[in-house]
Amino acid sequence: MRPQIAVLAAAISIVGSQHLRGQSAPPGSDVYLATLSIPHNGGARIGIGEPENITRRAGYDNQPAFFGDERAVYYTSIRADGQSDIYRYDIAAHKTTRVTLTAESEYSTTMLPGGRRFSVVRVEPDSTQRLWSFRLDGTDPQLVVRSVKPVGYHVWLDSSRVAVYVLGTPATLQVVQLGSEHTDTVARDIGRSLSPVAVDVASFVQPRTGGGFTLHELRIDRAGNPHVRSLDALPDSAEYVVWTSGGAAITASGSSVYLRQPGASAWQKVADFASDGIRHITRLAISPNGHWLALVADDHR
């Protein structure tokens, strides 16, 4: 069973740091929300409704995530004050609320196991990037992992382990044990997509020779040891992957969405949103029960 943990969607901490250092602001992007219908018979076709632009404005809106109740989409937004904060879009009310309002920048909101707090990558005043957590109302910030930095992205494996993308040359994937903060480096030269697959299982990507990315699985065994195996090459220009509760992978390239069912030999194109004015889909998020799909694409024009 898939854990009730939001997709990492992945912090764009690299962009966040550049922004704080006075370099060019990140490119404009919008978050789209679509209904999702997944067949129970394992068929290649899934149903994706017409995407609704829930952020329609100039500027950076990115890194969508769902929490356990599926009532809202949380995302990172940079507004007129130049500050990166977490916002919440209530699906039924069509209402947007600012969740964090801090002197620091927060990225990559992700539900903590247990559902009472969410974690973020926080860019601290000295540009240190570490993992923090907040209450669901955006209060009570607490440092989660002190020694591991600079963190770019993260995904929870269970209540005591988190996998983090650590910036560097090359970037590394490290599994951190909470409390002791013992780390195991399980992969190097990784991409920006980290996603939960099941309890103690996540996926990540690595660039492949000649371009594109290869999808990999990280699994923690009963003894607590990490294991990595290669799964498949992603379609051209695709980097971000999310997973259904049935083990199907969803990715996107350009204006198209692709699906790979367990055991399938190839990715199947299941939707193309070019006619909706959507182009260059990057990040994705899927709700825990598989009812909603969030897409990030270039600012609508």
Task: Count each helix (H run) and each strand (E run) in the chain, helices first.
Answer: 1, 25
Residues with Cβ within 8 Å of residue 201, at least 6 apart in sequence: 157, 217, 218, 219, 220
- The type of residue at 202 is A
| Closest listed residue to residue 107, CA positions, set 242, 12, 240, 241 | 12
Question: What is the rounded CA–CA span in Å between residue 166 and residue 149?
Answer: 6
Q: What pLDDT shows up at residue 28? A: 92
44: left (phi over 0), alpha (psi -120 to 50) or beta: alpha
Question: What is the rounded CA–CA span in Å between residue 129 and residue 166?
Answer: 9
Instruction: Judge whether 238 lies within some domain.
Output: yes
Per-residue tokens: 4? 């009730």
Low-confidence ranges of the chain (pLDDT < 70): 1-25, 40-45, 300-301
Number of domains in the chain: 1
Q: What pLDDT shows up at residue 9? A: 34
CB contact at 8 A, 241 and 251: yes
Instruction: Judge whether 179 lies within some domain.
Output: yes
Per-residue tokens: 159? 């209540």
Residues with Cβ within 8 Å of residue 69, at least 6 apart in sequence: none
Report pLDDT digits (tens) over 201-237.
999 999 999 999 999 999 999 999 999 999 999 999 9
Report pLDDT digits (tens) over 169-209.
999 999 999 999 999 999 999 999 999 999 999 999 999 99
Q: What pLDDT shows up at residue 26? A: 77
Q: What pLDDT shows up at residue 44? A: 54
Instruction: Judge whether 41 lies within some domain.
Output: yes
Instruction: Judge whether 242 lies within some domain.
Output: yes
Q: What pLDDT shows up at residue 81? A: 85
Instruction: Judge whether 241 lies within some domain.
Output: yes
Instruction: Judge whether 8 lies within some domain.
Output: no
Q: What pLDDT shows up at residue 43? A: 53
Q: Which helix (H) or strand (E) holds 14?
A: helix 13-20
The domain that holds 224 is classified in CATH as 2.120.10.60
What domain range includes position 69? 13-298
Instruction: Judge whether 68 lies within some domain.
Output: yes
Angle, CA of 114, 118 and 121, to the nearest 5°: 135
Q: What pLDDT shows up at residue 61? A: 97
Question: Residue 103 carries which DSSP code?
Answer: S
Instruction: Judge whether 83 lies within some domain.
Output: yes
Question: Residue 235 carries which DSSP code?
Answer: P
| Closest listed residue to residue 20, CA positions, set 144, 135, 103 | 103
> Which stretches within the chain are classed as H helix?
13-20
CB contact at 8 A, 9 and 287: no
